[in-house]
Amino acid sequence: MSQYVLRRLMIAIPSLLGISVVLFVVLALAPGDPFSELATNPNVPPEVQAALRAKFGLDDPIHLRYLHWLNAMLHGDWGFSFVSRMDVDTLILQRLPATLYVIGSAQILALLIAIPVGVYAATKPYSLFDQIANTLAFVGFSLPTFFTGILFILIFSVTLDWLPFVYTTDIKGTGIRWVLEMIRQAIMPVAVLGLFQAASMTRFVRSAMLDVIRLDYVTTARAKGLGQAKVIVKHVMRNAMIPVVTLIALQMPAVFGGAIVTEQIFRIPGIGSLLISSILSNDTPVVMAVTFVFACLVVLFNLIADVLYGWLDPRISLR
């Protein structure tokens, strides 16, 4: 087992290096530069732009810039944003709470919907409930979040005037009022994102359940006279959840990475909106850091999933 984990770890390190090289090269080759706004400003002579480029090392050859970045990164220096002239890690830490809160809540909402609905639908395949759940799931993941987001805003903010549509980190009030306001402003983004995730997850849970529910040992359990609830929960769900747990583990990076579209629509100051604004302003150090963190999380959770598999099914780690 420990050998298996070690082997996996050894694979993870070169993958991360490879990912960082690709990201760096792509960003370096991408058009646009962080000082484009200065180009039309008559107060900024070309010398200043050139000085800024030199100061930030933009004129060095790519491989030197990459080595410099890698060295800094190994020393825990994430670089600093060209646009904010602020350390990238501070910038990311500032954005993390909103992302974790909103996207995390949406994931929990998705699970709370997907597991019961998926399980129940699988126990009664092709029943009326199953068909309704299936239809809704299809509608749910066919509608993009930018559409449902604007629809929600039009209904709940503009027409009904119930909920605010600008998410703010600066809420007046303390104690219970603050908590209530935090919940109130998160309702729409969490609902939009949660329902979208729930739709695809429901389908997944349902099919995982269906795979297991037909196996012989389930029939045996039933034949032994166990109650329906006990069979489903103890025998079927437990085994059906193995791939579902993996799916959730692999979706964890998304929780940290934020939901770009939803964050833009509701002005949530999360990682997703940081990424998009950095891309738009060609703030390469921030884009590099955010995407690299994202890559690390993907690799890490893949590793966790692999290890979990090995633990759940020892045959895998022996191979």
Q: Is 162 in the site for other proteins (CB under 8 A)?
A: no
Work out how close the CB of 26 gets to other proteins at its nearest, in angstroms, rounded to a whole number: 15
Alpha carbon separation from 13 to 16, 194, 285 (Å, rounded): 5, 33, 21
* Residue with Cβ nearer other proteins (209 or 288): 288
Q: Which residues contact 123 (CB under 8 A, 6 or more apart)?
A: 209, 213, 228, 232
Distance CA 150, CA 142 (A): 15
Work out how close the CB of 289 gets to other proteins at its nearest, in angstroms, rounded to a whole number: 14
Work out how close the CB of 60 gets to other proteins at its nearest, in angstroms, rounded to a whole number: 15
Looking at residue 53, its amino acid is R
Work out how close the CB of 265 gets to other proteins at its nearest, in angstroms, rounded to a whole number: 7
DSSP 86: S
* Residue linked to tokens 């690709």: 22
Taking CB under 8 A as the binding criterion, the range among 65-73, 194-202, 265-273, 288-296 that sits at the site for other proteins is: 265-273
Q: What x/- string results for residues 282 through 311 when contact with other proteins is judged by CB under 8 A? A: x-----------------------------
Work out how close the CB of 109 gets to other proteins at its nearest, in angstroms, rounded to a whole number: 23
Nearest-10 crossing angle of helices 238-257, 271-280: 40
Distance CA 69, CA 75 (A): 10
Q: Is 207 in the site for other proteins (CB under 8 A)?
A: no
Q: Is 62 in the site for other proteins (CB under 8 A)?
A: no
Distance CA 106, CA 183 (A): 12
Neighbours of 47 (CB within 10 A): 8
Q: Is 169 in the site for other proteins (CB under 8 A)?
A: yes
Q: Is 101 in the site for other proteins (CB under 8 A)?
A: no
* Residue with Cβ nearer other proteins (45 or 314): 45
* Residue with Cβ nearer other proteins (4 or 266): 266
As a whole number of Å, the CA-based R_g of the chain is 24
* Residue with Cβ nearer other proteins (34 or 140): 34
Within 70-99, the residues that bind other proteins by CB under 8 A are 80-81, 83-86, 91, 94-95
Q: Is 188 in the site for other proteins (CB under 8 A)?
A: no
Closest CA to 119 of 219, 239, 226: 239
Q: Is 31 in the site for other proteins (CB under 8 A)?
A: yes
Residue 80 three-state SS: strand
β-strand partners of 80: 87
Work out how close the CB of 82 gets to other proteins at its nearest, in angstroms, rounded to a whole number: 9
Q: What x/- string results for residues 211 through 250 when contact with other proteins is judged by CB under 8 A? A: ----------------------------------------
Distance CA 212, CA 131 (A): 20
* Residue with Cβ nearer other proteins (91 or 122): 91
What the block records as the tokens of 253 is: 């990076």
* Residue with Cβ nearer other proteins (39 or 183): 39
For residue 57, is it left (φ>0), alpha (ψ between -120 and 50) or beta? Answer: left
Work out how close the CB of 101 gets to other proteins at its nearest, in angstroms, rounded to a whole number: 14
Distance CA 127, CA 220 (A): 24
Work out how close the CB of 189 gets to other proteins at its nearest, in angstroms, rounded to a whole number: 13
* Residue linked to tokens 């269906």: 210
Distance CA 218, CA 116 (A): 19
Instruction: Give me the residues that bind other proteins (CB under 8 A), please.
Output: 31-49, 51-52, 55, 80-81, 83-86, 91, 94-95, 153, 157-158, 161, 164-166, 168-170, 172, 264-265, 267, 269, 273-274, 277, 280-282
